[in-house]
Amino acid sequence: MNALPAAQLAGAGIDELSHSARLKSRAVLRYFAQVPTDLLFFFSDIAIQAEAMGAPLSFGPASMPSVAAPADLVRLPRAADMPRMRVNARVLRDLGAEFPGLPRAAMVYGPFTVAGQVAGEQSLLRGVVERPDQVRELLEKSLAMAMDYARLLLEAGAEVLWVSDPLAVLLAPESFWDFAGEPLARLFAVKGDRDTALHICGDTAQIVAGMVKTGVGGISFDQCLDLLALEDQVPPEVAVMGNLDPVEVLEQAAPEEVAQTAEELVMGLGAAPNFALCPGCAPPTSAPVANMRAFLESGRRALDLLSPHAAGLAELSAGVLAGDGGGLEDQVRRLRADGLGAMEVMRAGLMRAIKKSSALYETKRRHLPTVLLTVDAFYRGYQALEPELAESGESGPAVALGTVHGDFHEIGKNLVAIMLKAHGIPVLDLGVNVPPQSFVAACREHGCQVVGLSAFITSARKQLGEVMRALAMAGLKNVDMVAGGAAVNQHLASQAGAKGYAKDAVAAVRLLQNVMKERA
């Protein structure tokens, strides 16, 4: 989504790229020669339409153009007369000539966002309540500009109309359709028979229905949202995209971690027929090209692996989610007989259901009795896979795992234990309500190298530090501690002296694998 990292490949500042079709085309063509995407984008700044309507911009060599002040006088020029809009149309034509077999996207910004740039965002937001008629009048102008710009790009060869309207997330759900959704629906109408996509930054959980109502063909969700909690609100004919973090993953992680994260995303969502792999938002200009390539290559491999088995995986996952244990063993065996690996059945079928159940529970759309039935069904499916899952050659347990003293929650801890064993990491499960000295005894008697602590309730947090002190007093300073659970976060884990923190069972596996690798 948006080819902003291409700016690194131009040998020129972003201010120059923004005004030169030759430089921008050179950068984008070099980028897509290295990054094997299925949809081609030019890179664009969010201020291009506001500039055309009269808002002054700030340009610099190292940052994207931005609005410097609201417009003194609102203009409504022809898109074809605006030099920077013509630049993007030219880049689209160059992309078509260089990559004739790949579809191209027109990047256009939504009327509400552009109106906020033209009038000032706070002024526009206040006006929604105090001066709604004036806001609607400005929206009509920004919609006209967006439609004209979209037509220019579509005439230049774009096959997909991709619209981003980030300011719309700040509208109250009851105001979304009137001030953002209905104008977006009219904007999408200019597409003809072309595909469409919509991205609104931030937590859009309350406006999903309004986004669907625009008639868009695909919705891109931000990384702050759990797609498993939202996918049922999107009709099967509308693509569900996004949720991979563009900053912490695509910009800041190593390529190997990017590849792991992309694979993990696909294993959770790839069996859905309307899922499309995409970052949660536009990757920064500084995101390494190697990371973008790792993201797409790893994600595509995982999708190709799951695609022939998608229907069977969806059926298996739905059965586990519903807590229906009947026939799960047969479904697992059929998937294995069709050639899908045991770990893929586990991750894309069984674990998908568990993660979705957890996501629905966190959003208060599912309650604990139903979650427990899902866990029971998961265990039945897991038992059918257990003989085939990787077994460790270790002579004893590597991890002593338990829920801390005073806490009797076991679901999350049990899932972590199963996932670790499935990945070949031997576990000694100490159960729940485990006092610090029991962790000490496990390390002494069984040679456990790592202690894994789960804390679900707030009052149990202090036990993290108590366990760490008990290990130190016993002279077990070479034992690493990791932590997780609903009452724990990265800060609390670090404060207690933990080696790491994992937010869920899948993250716990990756964390423990890295810890064990460091200890090897």
CATH of the domain at 317: 1.10.1240.10
422 and 497, same domain (yes or no) = yes
The residues with which 480 forms a beta bridge, in sequence order, are 450
Residue 266 has pLDDT above 80, yes or no: yes
Contact 294, 250 (CB under 8 A): no
Q: Output the six-digit token pair for 184.
A: 């977006």
340 and 479, same domain (yes or no) = no
362 and 498, same domain (yes or no) = no
Residue 350 has pLDDT above 70, yes or no: yes
Q: What is the pLDDT of residue 394?
A: 47
Q: What is the spatial distance between Cα 303 and Cα 299, in angstroms, rounded to a whole number?
A: 6
Tally the domains of the chain. Answer: 3
102 and 167, same domain (yes or no) = yes
Residue 341 burial (10 A CB sphere; 0-12, 13-18, 19+): middle
Residue 506 has pLDDT above 90, yes or no: no
Q: What is the spatial distance between Cα 182 and Cα 179, in angstroms, rounded to a whole number?
A: 7
User: Is residue 262 domain-resident?
Assistant: no
Mean pLDDT, residues 220-246 taken together = 94
How far does CA 230 lie from the centroid of its chain? Answer: 12
Nearest by Cα to 481 from 501, 458, 462, 509:
501
Q: What is the pLDDT of residue 185?
A: 97
* Domain termination site, one of 388, 410, 445: 388
Q: What is the spatial distance between Cα 98 and Cα 507, in angstroms, rounded to a whole number?
A: 40
> Angle 195-197-199 (CA atoms, 0-180°, nearest 5)?
170
Q: Output the six-digit token pair for 362.
A: 């966190």
Task: Provide CB contacts within 8 A for 111, sequence distance 6+.
Answer: 139, 142, 143, 146, 165, 180, 183, 184, 187
Q: What is the pLDDT of residue 387?
A: 84
User: Is residue 132 domain-resident?
Assistant: yes
User: Is residue 22 domain-resident?
Assistant: yes
Residue 392 has pLDDT above 70, yes or no: no
User: Is residue 295 domain-resident?
Assistant: no
354 and 455, same domain (yes or no) = no
How far does CA 159 lie from the centroid of its chain? Answer: 25
160 and 187, same domain (yes or no) = yes
Mean pLDDT taken over the chain: 93
355 and 407, same domain (yes or no) = no
Residue 392 burial (10 A CB sphere; 0-12, 13-18, 19+): middle
Contact 190, 153 (CB under 8 A): no
* Domain termination site, one of 355, 388, 421: 388
User: Is residue 292 domain-resident?
Assistant: no
CATH of the domain at 424: 3.40.50.280
CATH of the domain at 6: 3.20.20.210
Which amino acid appears at position 145 of this protein? M
Q: What is the spatial distance between Cα 305 and Cα 245, in angstroms, rounded to a whole number?
A: 23
User: Is residue 218 domain-resident?
Assistant: no
370 and 420, same domain (yes or no) = no
For 503, the domain range is 399-519
Residue 357 has pLDDT above 90, yes or no: no
425 and 473, same domain (yes or no) = yes
Task: Provide CB contacts within 8 A for 468, sequence distance 6+.
Answer: 481, 496, 497, 498
Percent of the chain surpassing pLDDT 70: 98
Alpha-carbon distance values, 506 to 228, 392, 501 (Å): 15, 18, 12
What are the tens digits of pLDDT across the range 210-222?
999 999 999 999 9
Contact 129, 178 (CB under 8 A): no
User: Is residue 290 domain-resident?
Assistant: no
467 and 331, same domain (yes or no) = no
Contact 335, 309 (CB under 8 A): yes
User: Is residue 242 domain-resident?
Assistant: no
Using DSSP, state whether 106 is helix, strand or coil: strand
373 and 427, same domain (yes or no) = no
Q: What is the pLDDT of residue 138?
A: 98
What are the tens digits of pLDDT across the range 154-198?
999 999 999 999 999 999 999 999 999 999 999 999 987 779 999
48 and 100, same domain (yes or no) = yes
Contact 461, 500 (CB under 8 A): no
Q: What is the spatial distance between Cα 487 and Cα 31, in angstroms, rounded to a whole number?
A: 43
The residues with which 481 forms a beta bridge, in sequence order, are 451
Model confidence at 415, pLDDT cuts 50, 70, 90, reads: confident
Q: At what angle do helices 310-321 and 351-362 cross, to 10 degrees?
A: 50
Q: What is the spatial distance between Cα 1 and Cα 42, in angstroms, rounded to a whole number?
A: 9
Q: What is the spatial distance between Cα 246 and Cα 239, in angstroms, rounded to a whole number?
A: 20
What are the tens digits of pLDDT across the range 50-66?
999 999 999 999 999 99
Residue 61 burial (10 A CB sphere; 0-12, 13-18, 19+): exposed
Model confidence at 355, pLDDT cuts 50, 70, 90, reads: confident
What are the tens digits of pLDDT across the range 72-129?
999 999 999 999 999 999 999 999 999 999 999 999 999 999 999 999 999 999 999 9
Using DSSP, state whether 318 is helix, strand or coil: helix
Using DSSP, state whether 203 is helix, strand or coil: coil
Which amino acid appears at position 283 of this protein? P
* Domain termination site, one of 205, 232, 253: 205
